[in-house]
Amino acid sequence: MSLHHRLEAWDRDLFLAINGVHAPWADGLMTALSEMLVWLPLYVLFLFMLRRRFGWKGLCWSLPVIALMIWCSDSGSVLLFKNTVQRLRPCHQPDLAGLVHVVNGHCGGSFGFVSSHASNHFTIAAFMTGVLAGRPRWAAPMLFLWAALVAYSRIYLGVHYPGDVLVGALYGSLVGAIFVVLHRAVLKRAGALS
């Protein structure tokens, strides 16, 4: 058996183990964790933190950088990965029919590698961690825990394999780190960074 097939088998077995542990009370919680609107107050808090750290001028210059960052993360997860690799989501995989716990019948598009939810949330976590530069100390662990919970919810809901969210998290973290550097350069050039 090749390494590729071995990795796919481990990914599938881990998916079935995680997705197989479910409860009615957790279905609603995991659905909520995956909803963008649930996190809207947190996104607003992030903007408040940027305004507090860099002032109004810094926030105004941050917004286009953030918009470009999210576009790169989200579009990249689709164009570079999903449309290229074309790995079926577990809930669309014929071999797993009847084995996948799908909540509310929602499965999403055909392809799942990589998870855009994982990519986007790890992008934001890495970006905010870099921008906050370790202040407060608890911010980085909390940001990555938040992103990991969102990523976990995607496995629980039956729409992604663990490998989908792991590679999505790595890709998102890389995008976030790149945009920390770009953000600093933009703010410095705009005179909003001391």
Range 82-108 average pLDDT: 89
DSSP lists the bridge partners of residue 111 as 88
Token duo for residue 11: 């990914």
pLDDT over 80 (residue 194): no
d(CA 26, CA 107): 17
Cα Rg, the chain, nearest whole Å = 18
HSE-up of 192 (CA within 13 Å, CB side)?
Answer: 19
b/e map 2-38, b = 16+ CB within 10 Å: eeeeeeeeebbeebbebbeeeeeeebeebbebbeeee
What is the per-residue pLDDT for 71? 97
Q: Which two tokens stand for residue 152?
A: 């976990």
Number of domains in the chain: 1
pTM score of the predicted model: 0.94
pLDDT in tens, 142-190: 999 999 999 999 999 999 999 999 999 999 999 999 999 999 999 999 8
Question: What CATH number should be reported for the domain holding residue 98?
Answer: 1.20.144
Identify the domain containing residue 138 by its residue range. 3-190
106 beta partners: none
Half-sphere exposure of 40 (CA within 13 A, CB side): 3
* Average of per-residue pLDDT values in the chain: 93
Confidence of residue 97 (pLDDT cuts 50, 70, 90): confident
